[in-house]
């Protein structure tokens, strides 16, 4: 697997595997640049009162984008300009792709509703045109222009590029449960190659794709759209983006829905470990469902026995990869990725059962297909930039989980305690940003967003990628946080079939009235 914090909604893609982040480290020669970058983002992070933009920024806030028809019928697209570096707004622009679909009526238009599916690295424009702009509840689409912007470095917005397709294929197959010194060196070398390729191909944008900078871009878009306040639905990583916006601009917060919430107060190591436990919880739910079926590929005994059966399978493909019908074999890394991919949505469980049945029988194409969907690999061997943007954002937002392989090895037992099934691989995966070429500019901290109106935080009790306790924590941190709970499986809750959840969120978006704090739905 790649870096550990990919947090997407299942509506964007079937395989929304959560990759928790690791931070970035550098030698003493990087100290000066680290200090400068940190000071720059610290200045950007300070709460920005309305009307406080400098003259240099006002040209961005007053721009008039040229809208044109694009993509799916009824959608419009435009290009939004933002400063590459908010600390030096005269130092060049970044071009951001924006899309919208107008409110359909009936009823008076409320304003714009900005959506983000998570990631980091997920295309918000793709999410809008493929799902939100046509699949959100009709009463919401009737009253809001649905809007999305691909974050800087993502998809259509000056995307971060790293490895070529063949090199990415090789990268995804590197053993992430090293058994000896040689395999540890090979894993470290793979992370170093990935980081160096990102720097070589994307050096200009790489230092400027932090969540803080993207949140500031959202405020530029708010102004350009003519909205006094920001109304926003962010899923998964999009909740961190929304909370960061509220921290920066509490006076410009309108109605914010943060679904599948992250906890901004946690370190990279704690985020990794918590999410590892979340995947174990989700696997337990899958296994409990599976063992009730006579054809369960993991047996019909207990959940613990099913977990041991899966671990045995992982060990077997680590020793002898499976054929897949193509040049790539299915080793332990791709097999694990395929299983975790299906944890995001219980609707994928039948596909996982079939894929495991075939794999245990000696044929790995089913799990490979799940892994490919997670990595957004096309049939022609090319990759979307999801994984590249994911690493770039994560490695800016928090300091590294580890300083080197020895730290990762030391952490393995605590990860295995969190997840006997996935712990070892996820512990080593957190090593990736250790070798990142751009120093981190963010840090873990509580977000209170003092002065913001009620913000709705949504958590799912058995969410694999954003554990429920993260939603509880974020709602408690926010001065105006209101917690809405979905008792169920899967990643995020809005639009996943719960009338109770959807009604509560729709009422908040349409009327501005949040549900009672602590409301629970099933």
Given 99, 491, 498, 502, which residue is catalytic? 491
**59-87 b/e (C-beta count within 10 Å ≥ 16 → b):** ebeebebeeeeebeeebbbbbbbbbbbbb
Given 236, 282, 333, 498, which residue is catalytic? 236
208 in active site:
no
39 to 136, 228, 304, 428: CA distances (angstroms) = 40, 29, 49, 31
Closest CA to 214 of 83, 125, 34, 101: 83
Given 145, 217, 227, 463, which residue is catalytic? 463
According to DSSP H, which parts of 435-514 are helical?
A: 468-477, 499-511
Spatial distance between the Cα atoms of 491 and 470, rounded to a whole number of angstroms: 13
List the structure tokens of 266: 């946690």
Spatial distance between the Cα atoms of 399 and 379, rounded to a whole number of angstroms: 35
- Helix, strand, or coil (residue 202): helix
272 to 81, 101, 223, 235: CA distances (angstroms) = 34, 37, 36, 18
Spatial distance between the Cα atoms of 110 and 275, rounded to a whole number of angstroms: 37
66 in active site:
no
445 in active site:
no
Closest CA to 304 of 288, 315, 319, 292: 288
**198-229 b/e (C-beta count within 10 Å ≥ 16 → b):** bbebbeebbbbbbbbbbbbbbbbbbbbbebeb
Give the active site residues: 236, 463, 491
């Amino acid at each position: 697997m790649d870096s550990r914090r990919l947090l997407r909604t299942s509506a964007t893609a079937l395989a929304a595997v959560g990759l928790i982040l690791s931070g970035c480290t550098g030698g003493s020669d990087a100290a000066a640049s680290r200090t400068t970058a940190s000071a720059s983002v610290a200045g950007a992070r300070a709460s920005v009162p309305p009307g406080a933009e400098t003259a240099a920024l006002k040209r961005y806030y007053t721009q008039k984008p040229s809208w044109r028809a694009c993509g799916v019928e009824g959608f419009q697209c435009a290009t939004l300009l933002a400063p590459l570096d908010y600390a030096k707004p005269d130092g060049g622009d970044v071009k951001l792709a924006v899309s919208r679909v107008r409110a359909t009526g009936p009823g008076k238009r409320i304003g714009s509703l900005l959506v983000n599916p998570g990631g980091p690295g997920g295309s918000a424009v793709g999410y809008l045109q493929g799902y939100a702009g046509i699949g959100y509840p009709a009463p919401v689409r009737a009253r809001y222009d649905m809007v999305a912007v691909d974050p800087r470095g993502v998809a259509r917005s000056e995307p971060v590029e790293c490895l070529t397709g063949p090199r990415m294929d090789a990268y995804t197959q590197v053993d992430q449960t090293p058994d000896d010194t040689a395999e540890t060196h090979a894993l470290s070398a793979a992370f170093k190659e990935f980081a160096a390729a990102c720097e070589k191909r994307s050096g200009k944008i790489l230092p400027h794709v932090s969540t803080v900078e993207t949140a500031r871009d959202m405020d530029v878009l708010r102004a350009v759209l003519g909205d006094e306040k920001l109304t926003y639905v962010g899923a998964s990583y999009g909740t961190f983006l929304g909370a960061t916006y509220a921290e920066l601009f509490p006076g410009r917060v309108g109605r914010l829905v943060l679904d599948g919430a992250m906890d901004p107060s946690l370190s990279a190591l704690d985020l990794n470990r918590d999410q590892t436990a979340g995947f174990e919880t989700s696997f337990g739910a899958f296994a409990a469902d599976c063992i009730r079926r006579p054809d369960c590929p993991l047996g019909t005994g207990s959940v613990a026995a099913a977990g041991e059966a899966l671990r045995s399978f992982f060990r077997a493909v680590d020793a002898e990869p499976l054929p897949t019908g193509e040049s790539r074999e299915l080793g332990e890394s791709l097999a694990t990725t395929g299983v975790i991919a299906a944890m995001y949505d219980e609707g994928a469980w039948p596909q996982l059962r079939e894929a495991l049945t075939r794999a245990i029988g000696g044929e790995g194409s089913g799990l490979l297909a799940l892994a490919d969907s997670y990595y957004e690999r096309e049939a022609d061997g090319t990759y979307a930039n999801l994984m590249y943007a994911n690493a770039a954002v994560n490695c800016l937002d928090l300091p590294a989980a580890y300083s080197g392989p020895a730290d990762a090895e030391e952490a393995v037992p605590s990860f295995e305690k969190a997840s006997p099934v996935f712990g070892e691989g996820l512990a080593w995966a957190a090593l990736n940003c250790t070798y990142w070429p751009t120093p981190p500019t963010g840090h873990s901290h509580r977000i209170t967003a003092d002065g913001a109106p009620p913000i709705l935080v949504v958590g799912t009790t058995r969410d694999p990628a954003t554990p429920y306790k993260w939603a509880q924590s974020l709602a408690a941190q926010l001065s105006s946080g209101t917690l809405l709970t979905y008792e169920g499986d899967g990643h995020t809750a809005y639009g996943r079939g719960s009338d109770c959840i959807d009604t509560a969120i729709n009422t908040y978006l349409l009327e501005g009235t949040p549900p009672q704090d602590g409301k629970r739905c099933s």
